[in-house]
Amino acid sequence: MRNKCITCFTVWMLVLASSHANAENASNPLAAVNNTDLRMQYFDMDGSDRSDYWVDSAYMVTPKLKLKYELHYWNTDVTGSRESGFEEFRLKPIYFPTQGK
């Protein structure tokens, strides 16, 4: 558990450091920058556990088009056997009509 928390904290700090290097706020969906946010949550439920993982990212395909995607994955043994799977995937384009050529 402690190693998972340290790893998650290290990844989070790297994401924060890289996002502050850009002039625009990368977490703003209307910012014309690439970004990736990683998040992990761990729940200990009296002998059972559940881990949730999220990836929230955006990629500038062209100066006028940005693709934003979100992915959620979970892993648990609440039922007595290990189960895991993808809960949701979202993909949405964002068009900037006044950007670029």
Residue pLDDT, tens place only, 36-87? 889 999 888 777 888 899 999 999 999 889 999 999 998 888 777 888 888 8
The structural domains of the chain, with segments of one domain joined by +, span 2-95
99: left (phi over 0), alpha (psi -120 to 50) or beta: beta
From 6-10, 26-30, 94-98, the region with the lowest mean pLDDT = 6-10
pTM reported for the whole predicted model: 0.59
Is residue 22 very low, low, confident or very high in pLDDT (cuts 50, 70, 90)? very low
Q: What is the pLDDT of residue 7?
A: 54
